[in-house]
Amino acid sequence: MKNANKDVEKMTVVFPTSVVQNLRQRIPPRRRSAFVVEAVTEKLALEEQLAAIEESAGAWSQENHPELATDQAVDRWMAELRQLWAGVQDGTASKIHP
């Protein structure tokens, strides 16, 4: 198998027949490996995010952040945060928060 990337490994993976048939119908032969790698990479990233969410559960409590006790307070905080992010993108961040 030719590949410009030398850091590759070949492995055997078992798929249900219906998945293989669908893959063969939709993805050209020379794109299938890249397609599967991309799909697995996306799924692994999601799994990592879910693990991080589970690990951090309870880290943000109302006791530690009473200023965010209401929906309106959270909305205000999010609006300020979005304004800061916009300022970072357009170079005005220092004008928002000195």
DSSP 16-39: -HHHHHHHHHHS-GGGHHHHHHHH
Indicate whether 46 and 74 sit together in one domain: no
pLDDT in the model for residue 91: 67
Q: Which residues constitute the domain of residue 49?
A: 17-55
Count of structural domains within the chain: 2
Residue 4 lies inside a defined structural domain of this protein: no
Residue 42 lies inside a defined structural domain of this protein: yes
Indicate whether 71 and 51 sit together in one domain: no
d(CA 23, CA 21): 5
pLDDT in the model for residue 69: 87
pTM: 0.58
- What tens-digit pLDDT sequence spans the chain (98 residues)? 456 668 999 999 999 999 999 999 999 999 999 999 999 999 999 999 999 999 988 787 888 888 888 999 999 999 998 988 887 666 665 554 44
